[in-house]
Structure 1
């Protein structure tokens, strides 16, 4: 869930990369330690404002396994982890928090956490930033056509319904909400006013689910309403059933107001402004640059794998993935000559990047000594880089990944085959 205070200025002046790095660390830990069907909430609020600055409080709250009082004492200490056994089961924790603490304090802020074992955890930071200026209208997506636009949102989550209502108020269009399919259909059938133009429907709901509700909407409205399905599930898993029922579009959770506005604009035919970001047409084109090379990506977080694939596949690379260090060792050992390079995350469950690299280097085969292994980690201090090199890695890239840095390392360690 995303909860963003509408009083946060449209533009702030801060260190964008480091700001995002801390939030990414909080979210990564929350994902690792929250079981299926759990909840993770990212929230940001403006707790103080003056003409030139504002103080932001950013929090990530999860319903995961929680942290004991004893373990909490070690969390923000450099190069210590809360619990070795938990780390081996779920992947690394602690090191990123120590770095996050260092980053926030260098930016003049404070970092903190609240947790109870078995009852989840909240990690947050408070930081004062300068207020910036810019095209406020563009940021708030005022291109939404508010004339005669009526939106219905159907979701069993009260947080989602509240978020849509707040978004509608900010963007200025009429919005009604319903907690389930039966309530939604009653609003549609017994609606005394103009019909709904756009209907957002959650896929999974108790009772009448989103697929069944879409079928009933089509029976009532025919093609005179736009149905947009929302879900945290992958679109490919529900696409066939959803399109057959009459769904027009799909957007994934978590939801952002910009995503909602863009979807409405596209569906209702409201033209967008041209992008205000200037594209550098002189930037090098690396399409197909590394064609013929195959790399092994060892990374335990699925979204990180997707990001790496999106960045590197256009360059012609064939990318195999391993969910932890143990699987990476197994894949390399099974066919040592298959891979030209390994991208190795540091903190993974079962076997971390250091141990996996040492195991590969110890194998009595020529490829084990020569294959380039590049570490991927948010830990970018000199000691971290030295530790990677000592384990047998050839190089290091920081997280979040910078595409120019990644390309630079690939050019250094891969040869062009075409």
Structure 2
């Protein structure tokens, strides 16, 4: 018989197993609940760390999940967990209060919940001005599972503001009427605005390539240097100013073009006009300079010979005639000086000295001859001298030019006032400070007067009030023009009051800086001190009469004189003989004084090359004198010259003509640190070795072996520097480079260096101790 299915002994075992299983399941449930709680905690922490707002809704629209950021974006109270389980319809009421357009917001939200289609980056504008961006993402955990809806929110207010700014900025190039190009690091054109496209289209293919090449070049330079660049470009028949802004971090450079064609054309027109004006001024200056030369050259002969004639025995009648010759010559000289002054004024080249002088004494001395002249004409002269009102008359200025104003006004008064008339000159101080003196000068006459319609005209150059003035009274009509220009140069104004038949009154007010009183003048003595006796001079002068005038003066002072009628003859004489001084005319046929001076200064013999040269010129412009000094002349004297001025110039030049030192041991002694034996050793080495080096140097130069010359010069260069041989650095530099020396007459350079070293060899032995 079969055993029963259930037997009582196995029942307890089955119950025990079931209870054990129950306990295991309960434990698993507890562990699963704990894991779930942990996962929920982690999920809560995670979603609250997100920068975006996140919300999860189920299929019925119930809120399953929301983080703190979402609540903050919508303005909902925290914590976010309190909203879990609420219906989306209930929460929408809060949303409608926050958004700027509630109806449109509600309609779009309903559509999204019904359609269940993804939507990204939709913008929601809030009433407080913020802008939110939201995403709708339908989600299913598994096929057939309920569909959830994930909503993501971001505050894009600042980003949108920046985006709008960038859009605005980006639209500027397109709207700019000027061409704009962008070139990348590889030279590729990556952007052009409409104006640039129009410019490009208007060019022919060759011009287009030129534009692109220029754009690449200036962009590359700006990117390489990292700095903005500015450059003017000629494109086709137009002109553009280019401004290049490098943006290396962005990988490109912007080129901004501005059309400056009209400006360039205007500047060019002003430059073709300026050149013409300058050419006209230059032509006038050249004409006046030539006229000055042509007049002054014979005037030097006239006045010079008159001066020599005055030293001879003459009867009274002959002396009268001689006085007329000298007076007429001085008058002619005054006229040419007036013409030159007017030319200087119109060209802005009028020279004004700045020297301390006594204004009271200067005015009084200037007026004295005119007072005598007026008295001889039968005029009554009265007035008030400046010294009556001025306690401290020392000022800084140009006494010659200030006197010129006064002399012109008083001379005019004398000229236009008939005998029996009256002239009144008043000078007075009107203001005074610690640093300046202001004076007023008035010149009144009872002459012919000037019609009101002509009063401004008389201040114009080469103009007089009436057509017959020159015939009746003489003159050039320049005096008042010059006077007004001089007064204005000092910051004043020349004033006139006049009435026909009742005379004229000219006046001006000047403010001059004060100066310390100059030392009292030394009592005059005979200027011929005998220092020129026995000295030998070479005179370059093409005018025979002027040579005679100069020779008579120089021989009178005991000098030996050789004459040369042009530059070439003079140079031949100079090479053959030794001279203490040279008197050099400027304009000579064949070779000018400037060319002759340059040739003398380049002679290899240092003593000959450094002879004092005095320019005797008939040109009276200061710029000319500056040119002569720059060319190597030591001083200038304008013809016709006074005897004393010529003597003083010669004396000063000869006193300064002591030969320069052939060496300088300061550097060597500094290196020796007080060890004189070291200095003596270097000098003995120089004296022993340099003669042989010089012989080799001259031999190499004679053979034309300039490579060997360069090597020898380089070898002795340290000795030259140690002993301070002067004026050889440039020569050494040129000879060390054969290709450079060949362009600068290397034989002449070698001769000059050899002469310097031979002189040092002659003079250095005196530095050695006595045997």
TM category, shorter: 0.3 to 0.5
Larger Cα-atom Rg: 2
Query: Which structure carries more relative contact order (alpha carbon 8 Å, separation 6+)?
Result: 1
After TM superposition, the score normalised by the length of structure 1 is 0.35
